[in-house]
Structure 1
Amino acid sequence: MRKKQPAQPTVPDVVRGIDYWKTVPATVDGVLGGFGTGTLPRVDALGSRSFLLSVLPRLSAVPPVTDDPVEWQKRKMEQRGGKGKTVTRALDCGAGVGRVTETVLLRVVDEVHVTEPVEHFLAEAARLSSSWQSLTLPPSKQPFHARKAAHFHLSTLQALDPARPWSSADGGIYRPPIAPNPLQYDVVWCQWMLQHLSDPDLLAFFARAKASLVPEDGVIVVKENVCPEMEDGSERVWWDEEDKSITRSTQAYERVFREAGLTTIRAETQMGFPQELYAVKMWALR
């Protein structure tokens, strides 16, 4: 997340990157590189929820000011098929200890599939989930009386099939007892993870992710640091020796999006982050 100087190589080293993260404490502060105890997590979560709801307003549990709240909720529940239905779903890619799942995705969808390649991060996310407010509230207290759920899968994005995340899990407690049918998502959320994928791996992952979206209006959200372009305006990639990742410029990401056949629905810059960090861009794609 911090600004680095350009160096070679410019292709992520997945194995050495995972080895680095295995040495990092399984805490929000650890996965955020020391920025987890300040205002960054809250600012990040607020920016993410606002961006997501601007793209998919149907996920909002807050009625428009022009509608009667009781009648609005009644209509919404009828549209969802009644009480207790699991209707909306998200995939959290490279979820760390589940911060985005807890503070963003479970606030707006019924079910989240949490994927993470570093086992002690995933184990901590699974442990913490028992105290997440969205999961502790009974259905009667949920906006649409739906039962919220989170499922945990150990996998790199290179190996992950979003439609069948359980098939990529490395066994153990993370594999669901009964494999459900192939999944479709309203949201595939990718934050501070894609810097560990090469362009070919990213293109392959985007193809699988796009195929797993609900056909009407599902979106892939990318939220990543971006470095400045080259002086001549062309795209740039910077190498991070510490975690063996790369940081792409805006043009580098948007070229990959085009090559993957994705259309940008909305793009914004996250505001309110410390100046010593790279800028953070958000894209909604489908």
Structure 2
Amino acid sequence: MLGGYGGISSIDISGSKAFLKKFLGGKTGTGCALDCGAGIGRITKRLLLPLFKTVDLVDVTKEFLDKARSYLGDDGKRVGNYFCCGLQEFVPETGRYDVIWIQWVIGHLTDDHLVEFLRRCQKALRPNGLIIIKDNVSYEGVVPDEVDSSVCRDLEIVRRLVGQAGLRIVHEEQQMNFPKEIYQVHTLALR
């Protein structure tokens, strides 16, 4: 769901792959990943399935998950679960995931829901697992988006919420080569 910026998909995936490869093959395993706010499975198909043995998808919209089944094609055989649930209610299985990927969806959660979700995600990690947040960040404060009823938080607010969840940022990068007219996108690896 690139909001009219479909042309950035390859840049996005390349940046995400380079970010993830800093951790995979070392201590972080490649057994199972979770795609949060998966939509039709763009990130699952292009980023996660090439790197992990199994991927689970969670999205609040059943129609998107139904489309994901056909969009993923043969690669969909390695999808473990399709969970239709909002992240504010989703409880991932304890100790299942090497990587939990959360992209362009935290703006749909309240601060409290985000903190609680991150706490549940921490319990769902395997040893040396990572939670990855990749999202737009505002320049200052919280900026509401009336079009999709979400918010865009600045980096300091995101960092504070991560800390409240009992997590620490182990690596952080800005996504490069995106159009200048959109908010900066940052990727944070959490443990």
Give the TM interval when normalised to the shorter protein: over 0.9
| CA 1:207–1:247: 2 relative to 1, 3 Å | same
| CA 1:213–1:228: 2 relative to 1, 3 Å | same
Alignment match, 2:20:
52
Cα distance, 1:276 vs structure 2 = 1.2
CA distances 1:181-209 after superposition (whole Å, capped 9, x unpaired): x5510000000001000111011101100
Percent identity of paired positions between Structure 1 and Structure 2: 37
* One of 56, 61, 64 as aligned partner of 1:121: 64
Alignment match, 1:280:
185
* One of 228, 240, 248 as aligned partner of 2:145: 240
Alignment match, 2:92:
162
Give secondary structure in 2 for the equivalent of 1:195. helix
| CA 1:254–1:272: 2 relative to 1, 3 Å | same
Structure 2 residue 174 is the aligned partner of structure 1 residue 263:
no
Cα distance, 1:57 vs structure 2 = 3.3
Please list every run of at least 4 consecutive aligned residues from structure 1 whose deviation after the TM superposition is greater than 3 angstroms.
Answer: 57-60
Mapped to 2, the partners of 1:97 and 1:52 lie a distance apart of: 21
Matches for 1:63-212 after TM superposition, within 5 Å: 88-132=31-75, 135=76, 148-163=78-93, 184-212=96-124
User: Which amino acid in the other structure matches residue 190 of structure 2?
Assistant: L
- Where does structure 1 lack aligned partners over 5 or more consecutive residues? 1-30, 61-79, 81-86, 137-147, 164-181, 230-235
User: Which amino acid in the other structure matches residue 120 of structure 1?
Assistant: E
User: Which amino acid in the other structure matches residue 162 of structure 1?
Assistant: P
**TM-score normalised by structure 2 residue count:** 0.94
- Where does structure 2 lack aligned partners over 5 or more consecutive residues? none
Give secondary structure in 2 for the equivalent of 1:225. strand
Q: Is residue 122–residue 154 contact of structure 1 (8 Å, CA) maintained in 2?
A: yes
Q: Is residue 55–residue 284 contact of structure 1 (8 Å, CA) maintained in 2?
A: no
**TM-score normalised by structure 1 residue count:** 0.64
Mapped to 2, the partners of 1:106 and 1:256 lie a distance apart of: 29
**Larger radius of gyration between Structure 1 and Structure 2:** 1
CA distances 1:128-168 after superposition (whole Å, capped 9, x unpaired): 12244xx57xxxxxxxxxxx3342111100110111xxxxx
Instruction: Please report the RMSD computed on the Cα atoms of aligned residues, expressed in angstroms.
Output: 1.8
CA distances 1:43-86 after superposition (whole Å, capped 9, x unpaired): 100110110111233389xxxxxxxxxxxxxxxxxxx9xxxxxx
* One of 2, 9, 14 as aligned partner of 1:41: 9
User: Which amino acid in the other structure matches residue 149 of structure 1?
Assistant: V
Aligned residues: 191
The structure whose RCO (Cα within 8 Å, separation 6+) is larger is: 1
Mapped to 1, the partners of 2:162 and 2:89 lie a distance apart of: 20
CA distances 1:7-65 after superposition (whole Å, capped 9, x unpaired): xxxxxxxxxxxxxxxxxxxxxxxx211112x2x111100110110111233389xxxxx
CA distances 1:231-257 after superposition (whole Å, capped 9, x unpaired): xxxxx0000011110000000100001
Question: Which has the larger strand fraction?
Answer: 2
Mapped to 2, the partners of 1:116 and 1:160 lie a distance apart of: 9
Mapped to 2, the partners of 1:131 and 1:59 lie a distance apart of: 29
Q: Is residue 237–residue 248 contact of structure 1 (8 Å, CA) maintained in 2?
A: yes
Cα distance, 1:103 vs structure 2 = 0.6
User: Which amino acid in the other structure matches residue 214 of structure 1?
Assistant: R
Q: Is residue 37–residue 60 contact of structure 2 (8 Å, CA) maintained in 1?
A: yes
Q: Is residue 95–residue 126 contact of structure 2 (8 Å, CA) maintained in 1?
A: no
